[in-house]
Structure 1
Amino acid sequence: MVQEKSTGVTQEHGGTKARETACTSSPSAWLQSPTTAVPRTRGDGPEQQLPQAGWQREVERGHAFGLAPADSIRDRTISTFSRGELPHFAGINTFLKAPYLEDVHQVGGHDVAVLGVPHDSGATYRPGTRFGPQGIRQMSALYTPYNYEMGVDLREQITLCDVGDIFTIPGSNEKSFDQISKGMAHVFASGAFPIVLGGDHSIGFPTLRGICRHLGHHKVGIIHFDRHVDTQETDLDERMHTCPWFHATNMAHAPARNLVQLGIGGWQVPRPGVKVCRERNTNVLTVTDITEMGLEAAARFAVERASDGTDCVYVSFDIDCIDAGFVPGTGWPEPGGLLPREALKLLELVVRNVTVCGLEVVEVSPPYDVSGITALMATRVVCDAMAHLVISGQLPRQGRPSWIQEACAMDVGQAWR
């Protein structure tokens, strides 16, 4: 247990201030999901109102580029060469079988762009997250674009592309960071919603730096799902995966007071990181805090703190925020984390109730995974987030958001050596 105390600083270990703030806020009218379940009957789902034009286009594309099926095939929607969602065990390895966009200059023509960041030079224990983007893409082939519970069909409601991976430099965090920031800035400035597949958590700093390059005078909050605070200045004398938020919150566009960290706890939280959180007045909720407050109060607290004085919020989801028994394929597994349903519900309550400018899912390490369950969980996080963005009206975007600006000079409070 951390012993040192100070006033007016981070809410952690017991979360008294956090619970008081959240529980005395206005009633949960802001919550978009019903509090009582209503059984569904046949034919009453919201998807009944959705078109099937996207599916038809996929069939036509399959026939045009992959040939019509053999004469013996009765289902004439099938093509000779797989060019779409089916079969799930075949096809090119893109996220959700989305079209691969080779020319990144065209990314602005899509609502959402998935980009991989295969970087694990920031790992301080178990490597392998450089294989995370491909592992997540592979497991995403199990999914369809349709979710029955939400009544969302991503194929019909948004345009999704996969722009491939950032060319990272093994052994050089700083050169990789420069590559990541440039790639992220390009996608963000195009108006496409960026979804990043990591990669270790050191990429949190350069991805956010890429966004900040196009915020102008606007500011961004951060909602960070994790078991670890990741706020050290250095680790092993470098900017590692334990350090992204120290450097991100050096930027004037990303104030530390708008950094909210959900799920922190266990025996892997270093005291130097805790000291930084206190000094910078960040907002920490442990798993115990969240359990005692309840998911709705915790989410309300996160939304209020991250959006206070900011124009948008970046969501960084470290897969290890979930209990290690469910996500073994990660760099720093920690028992006692959030249950999958808790994490997904928190994600829902956050994304539906704040303006989100981007999402990253990090720390998936396929070499340590079992049956792909960690990569599948990451896929679920991404798909759920897209669905919540659709339900909340954030996707597809109705024009270019006002907080996306031309490139601006960076205001970094503390230069790196």
Structure 2
Amino acid sequence: MDATEVAIIGAPMDLGAGRRGVDMGPSAVRAAGLHARLASLGYSVRDLGNIEVVQPESTTPKSTSARFLDEIAASCTRLAKIVERAASAGQFPLILGGDHSIAAGSLAGLAKYYRKSKAKFGLIWIDAHADMNIPATSPSGNVHGMPLAAALGMGPRELTHIGGFAPKVSPQNTVLIGLRDVDPAEGVNVRESGVLAFTMRDVDELGLRQVMRRAIAAASDGTEGIHLSFDMDSIDPDYAPGVGTPVSGGLTYREAHLAMETVSDSKLLRSLEIVEVNPILDTANRTALLAVELIASAMGKRILP
């Protein structure tokens, strides 16, 4: 990464999830020592606070196929503007979720920033879930299962056209890593989209180092850099219990760090988001503490200097 100033942007969204508590994720990560850890790595830190998100108790979803869609789109539009502004100021956007629906906003802001110079960016999406449902394929109607589809131009216009255009990222520069819980119809979306997808079986067979090398090559092909969207449920719940949708068989502690370290080594990381930390379901803030460790690894922390 080139930026020496990190802009922390909180997105306390839990409208897209089926379980409450993930809106406290940004505060939990901050409380786990994020600012001090970044400063110890030599970065100046500017915390831009949290975007405004309405509470579920104050509104009623208009649809069961995409719950709280309008409210999520409104918050993501606010997030997109802040992310674009931070990137334009030469800062490194570090977005803290909230549920993964916030990615519709962060990716919109980044895409608008890169479009100003007729450039594009690549995306590495590390997650147990593909997040490529659309309302017609979603079993739950939870929008946190739809943001990647939206970024690729699939799904409701309220999400796909945040910022006024679609898609936000090219499928040829989009890589999913760690998949192990994909809805049947969603799997068809993944296959037909043209993205590069690595399941946990691929991680087991190839090894994470090889997977990350291939992912970085695809995401950086013809792009100005890489955005990494990291869902904490990609990690096995033995190490990260505080997530809304835990699935056994995920990345180990060291595999998660290796993923971050490998992206850091590439010098291509331009922005990062960490999502789905749920303190209500956590134990002694373990998941938030791990999130801070992983952010540090992505931002250049090494075992030996």
Shorter-chain TM-score: which interval?
0.7 to 0.9
List gaps (5 residues or longer) in structure 1.
1-108, 146-152, 392-417
Q: Which has the higher helix share?
A: 2
Tell me which residue corresponds to 1:302: 215
How much does 1:335 deviate? Answer: 0.6
What corresponds to 1:129 in structure 2? Answer: 22
Q: 1:158 to 1:139 in 2, by over 3 A?
A: closer
- Contact 1:352/1:388 (<8 A) preserved: no
User: Is structure 2 residue 156 aligned with structure 1 residue 241?
Assistant: no
Do 2:108 and 2:168's aligned partners in 1 also have CA atoms closer than 8 Å? Answer: no
- The reply on whether 1:221 has 2:122 as its aligned counterpart is yes
Per-residue CA deviation, residues 193-244 of structure 1 (Å, 9 max, x unaligned), is 0101100000111111011111122111110111101011234786700011
Listed one character per residue, the Cα deviations across residues 80-110 of structure 1 (whole Å, up to 9, x for unaligned) are xxxxxxxxxxxxxxxxxxxxxxxxxxxxx96
- The yes-or-no answer on 1:113 pairing with 2:7 is yes
Aligned equivalents of 2:218 and 2:239: distance in 1?
29
> Could you tell me whether the CA contact under 8 Å between 2:99 and 2:276 is conserved in 1?
yes
Shift of 1:386: 1.5
Structure 1 residue identity aligned to 2:9: L
Partner in structure 2 of residue 170 of structure 1:
55
Could you tell me whether the CA contact under 8 Å between 1:196 and 1:361 is conserved in 2?
yes
CA change 1:354–1:287 in 2 (3 A) is: farther
Distance across 1 between alignment mates of 2:139 and 2:126: 24
Determine the C-alpha separation between the residues in 2 that align with 1:211 and 1:228.
Answer: 22
Q: Per the alignment, do residues 302 and 373 of structure 1 end up closer, same or farther by CA in structure 2, a change over 3 Å counting?
A: same
Q: Is 1:331–1:363's contact at 8 Å kept on the other side of the alignment?
A: yes
Change (3 A) 1:303 1:231: same
Letter in 2 for 1:169: V
Q: Aligned-pair RMSD on alpha carbons?
A: 2.2
Shift in CA distance, 354/286, structure 1 to aligned 2, threshold 3 Å: farther
2:148 is the counterpart of 1:271 = no
Question: Residue 28 of structure 2 aligns to a residue in which SS?
Answer: helix
Letter in 1 for 2:222: G
Equivalent runs, 1:17-416 vs 2, <5 Å: 111-123=5-17, 125-140=18-33, 145=37, 154-155=39-40, 157-171=42-56, 172-216=71-115, 217-234=118-135, 235=138, 240-250=143-153, 251-265=166-180, 268-387=181-300
| Residues 282 and 167 (structure 1), Cα distance of their counterparts in 2 relative to 1, 3 Å cut | same
Q: In 1, distance between residues paired with 2:85 and 2:139?
A: 31
Query: How far did 1:379 drift?
Result: 1.0
Give 1:412's aligned residue.
Answer: none
CA deviation profile, 1:130-175 (whole Å, cap 9, x unmatched): 000011111227x954xxxxxxx84462212212111122342121
Residue identity over aligned pairs, in percent, reads 32
Higher RCO, Cα 8 Å, sep 6+? 2
Hey, what's the Cα distance between the residues in 2 that align with 1:183 and 1:339?
33
The alignment of Structure 1 onto Structure 2 pairs a total of residues equal to: 271
CA distance in 1, matches of 2:46, 2:14: 24
Structure 2 unaligned spans of 5+: 57-70, 154-165
Q: Distance in 2 between matches of 1:337 and 1:156?
A: 28
Secondary structure (helix, strand or coil) at the match of 1:329 reads: coil
Asked if structure 2 preserves the Cα contact closer than 8 Å seen for 1:169 and 1:175, the reply is no
- Structure 1 pair 286–354 and aligned structure 2 pair: CA distance change class (3 A): farther
After TM superposition, the score normalised by the length of structure 2 is: 0.83
Question: How far did residue 380 of structure 1 move?
Answer: 0.9
1:213 is paired with a residue whose SS is helix
Quick one: distance in 2 between partners of 1:213 and 1:306? 18
TM-score w.r.t. the length of structure 1 is: 0.61
Letter in 1 for 2:86: V
Query: What is the DSSP-based 3-state SS (H/G/I as helix, E as strand, rest coil) of the residue aligned with 2:177?
Result: strand
Q: Give distance in 2, aligned partners of 1:332 and 1:156.
A: 32
The answer on whether the counterparts of 1:132 and 1:375 sit within 8 Å (CA) in structure 2 is: yes
